[in-house]
Structures are given as C-alpha cells and as structure tokens.
Amino acid sequence: MVLTERITSVFSIVGILFIILTYTFSSNFSKPINRLVFYASWGNLGLCIVALISMDGPDAGQNSALCQLQGFLAQLFLGVDAYWAFCMAVNIYLIFFRGYNTKQLRGLDRKYFIACYGISLIPAIIYLFINTKERGKIYGGAVVGTLSSSPRDCID
C-alpha cells in the first residue's frame, strides 16, 4: 500500500505542477475560479508530501522531526480542499445572485486565503508544542481509515 500511495502522489504532484505552471505562465487562466484552484493546489501539494512520507514518519518515531512534520502538514492541509470548494461555491453565489464582477471577487482572495489556510494553521502550530509526560506529543503514528485487512497483506 505504501508503494501505491507514493505512486499516486507522484501523479498528483505532476498534475499540481501543471496547474501551478499553467496559472503562473498563461494569462488566459487568471479567472477567479482558476485562482481559487491555484490556491487550493498548494494544499494538495502539502497532502502529497504527507503521502510521500507515508510510513517513514511513524517508523522514525513519534519524537522524530519527520513524524512531527508529517503530522503538522496533515493537520494543516487535510481540510483545505473542502474550504476552497466552499469559497468556490461562495464565488458562484456572488456572481449569479449578487452580480459580483472579477475585480470584486479578486478583493475576496486575501480573505479566502487567510480563512482556508488560517483555520488549519492555528491548531497545526499549537499541536506542535503540546507535550505532556503522561501522553507525549499530539502528533504521532496513526492509522487513517480502513485499508486492506491482514489476510490481504500480499497486495502490500
């Protein structure tokens, strides 16, 4: 599963780089919805880094810099896609029901950016500094969701 996770992350990174480069070097893509996709791409890139680290983070140990970095990045970027999708929906509402133009929408970008990344950044940073003798650090090895069961380990 680790290999599959890393391979799909590489494909995602290629797609993200295509989005970033296209937006950066082509003026045809400077529309409001494309800007929001561009901003969301950075969050996707962060999650791809988390996936590339894969089990190396937990295997390095809970107190390792790699494990802490992986936990921080996961906390920071995990919900960002949903926040950007909400911002895109707000933009559509503002265009169709409030008559916003491109200039007005561009004025919201800073607020969107602060909200989308700021909401996750606050706990992500706080969790880096919480460490108790009884329970240790917050970031540490964790299993997310349900993957293949033990009898199916042959596909790992």
| pLDDT tens-place string over residues 62-105 | 889 999 999 999 999 998 989 999 999 999 999 999 999 999 99
- pLDDT band per the 50, 70, 90 thresholds, residue 151: low
Higher-pLDDT residue of 45, 1:
45
Q: Which two tokens stand for residue 93?
A: 């509402």
In the predicted structure, residue 147 carries a pLDDT above the cut 50: no
Question: Phi and psi at residue 145, in whole multiples of 5°?
Answer: 70, -165
What confidence score (pLDDT) does residue 70 get?
92
Query: Quick check: helix, strand or coil at residue 133?
Result: coil
Name the percent of the chain in helix, strand, coil, to the closest 5: 75, 5, 20
